[in-house]
């Protein structure tokens, strides 16, 4: 069965995430960050930040909240039982600190098929409160046996 | 900010995720797919055991890169492909080399391996270089 490409270009309602100090510390500990700018507000302030700095991969936390429900979109039609996360790209414009609110916009960048596999590419654009882009994400999911 | 030279290696990062790490990462990240936390479920869907979250393994690549670059403010991008599976309680080694340095930006080629198999390959990072 060929993949349905009609959802290419589809956009979803944006979502806003409030970055909290304790969540940043929890995430930093889970990924093994030892740089005190992620863990200690005083160390972060001494380094010139307003509060603890989110590790770059914390983008996963504020993006997933908005993006994950869109992966189940019926028009996109991914077969979750056969899906794996194939590739990931992030582009960071600047560090994000606790206390910021980040709004993420999600769209379907591409859907294609090759060798019996479906390739579903999502794009996320995360912006700060002034509307400046802070993180861009490209998420590639592979679905076997399409 | 660090200064990078073409062909140089970045410091290796070695990490052994403990048995409960995927549970902590599930809570921290919000990814509760049971293939990472429930051995019964994982084996039922054909996996040898619970497996690591790919994005946790990518975070180890990011950590090696930001440590080498002198802090989180110096990483500009990271692109990875997930290959194979990573498992708890086995050591992971992240290593990388500097492909080129152009106009204050270094491009790094990075790989994460476990038991001599790549779990993240073709990782490319760009970082600021003094």
pLDDT band (50, 70, 90) for residue A145: confident
Give residue-wise pLDDT tens across range B65-113. 999 999 999 999 999 999 889 999 999 999 999 999 999 999 999 999 9
pLDDT band (50, 70, 90) for residue B2: very high
Answer yes or no: is pLDDT of A2 > 80.
no
Asked if residues B75 and B61 have their Cβ atoms less than 8 Å apart, the reply is no
* Residue B13 Rama label (left phi>0; alpha psi -120 to 50; beta): beta
- Which residues in chain B have their CB less than 8 angstroms from residue A87's CB? 79-82
A86 touches chain B (CB under 8 A): yes
- Which residues in chain A have their CB less than 8 angstroms from residue B28's CB? 23, 26-27, 29-31, 61
Instruction: Note the ipTM here.
Output: 0.96
Asked if residues B72 and A35 have their Cβ atoms less than 8 Å apart, the reply is yes
Burial class (CB in 10 A: 0-12, 13-18, 19+), A27: buried
Return the structure tokens found at B56: 């946790």
Return the structure tokens found at A98: 């606790």
Return the structure tokens found at B112: 């994460």
- Could you give the 3-state DSSP secondary structure of residue A59? helix
Angle (nearest 5°) at CA B67 between B104 and B7? 55
Contacting B residues, span 43-102, partner chain A, CB-CB under 8 Å: 45, 54-56, 58-60, 62-63, 66-67, 71-73, 75-82
Answer yes or no: is pLDDT of A1 > 70.
no
Task: State the average pLDDT over residues A132-139.
Answer: 98
Across the interface, of A23, A33, A64, the residue whose CB is closest to B63 is: A33
Return the structure tokens found at A84: 């794996």
Provide φ and ψ at B51, rounded to 5°.
-120, 160
Instruction: List Cα–Cα distances, A28 to A144, B105, B117, in angstroms.
Output: 33, 26, 26
């Amino acid at each position: 069965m060929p993949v349905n490409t009609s959802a290419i270009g589809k956009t979803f309602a944006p979502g806003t995430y409030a970055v909290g100090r304790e969540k940043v510390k929890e995430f930093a500990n889970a990924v093994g960050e030892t740089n005190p700018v992620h863990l200690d507000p005083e160390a972060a302030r001494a380094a010139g930040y307003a509060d603890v700095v989110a590790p770059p991969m914390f983008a996963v936390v504020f993006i997933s909240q908005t993006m994950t429900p869109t992966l189940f979109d019926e028009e996109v039609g991914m077969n979750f039982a056969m899906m794996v996360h194939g590739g990931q790209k992030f582009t960071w414009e600047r560090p994000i600190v606790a206390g910021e609110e980040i709004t993420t916009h999600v769209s379907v960048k591409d859907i294609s098929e090759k060798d019996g596999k479906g390739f579903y590419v999502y794009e996320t654009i995360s912006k700060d409160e002034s509307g400046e882009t802070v993180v861009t994400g490209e998420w590639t999911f592979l679905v076997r046996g399409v | 900010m660090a200064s990078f030279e073409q062909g140089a290696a970045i410091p290796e990062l070695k990490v052994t995720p403990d048995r409960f790490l995927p549970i902590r990462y599930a809570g921290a990240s919000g990814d509760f797919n049971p293939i990472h936390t429930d051995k019964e479920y994982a084996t039922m869907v054909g996996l040898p055991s619970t497996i690591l979250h790919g994005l946790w393994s990518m975070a180890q690549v990011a950590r090696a890169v930001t440590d080498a670059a002198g802090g989180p403010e110096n990483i500009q991008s990271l692109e990875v492909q997930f290959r194979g599976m990573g498992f708890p309680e086995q050591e992971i080694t992240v290593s990388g080399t500097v492909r080129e340095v152009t106009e204050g930006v270094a491009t790094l080629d990075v790989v994460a391996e476990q038991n001599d198999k790549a779990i993240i390959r073709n990782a490319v990072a760009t970082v600021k270089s003094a």
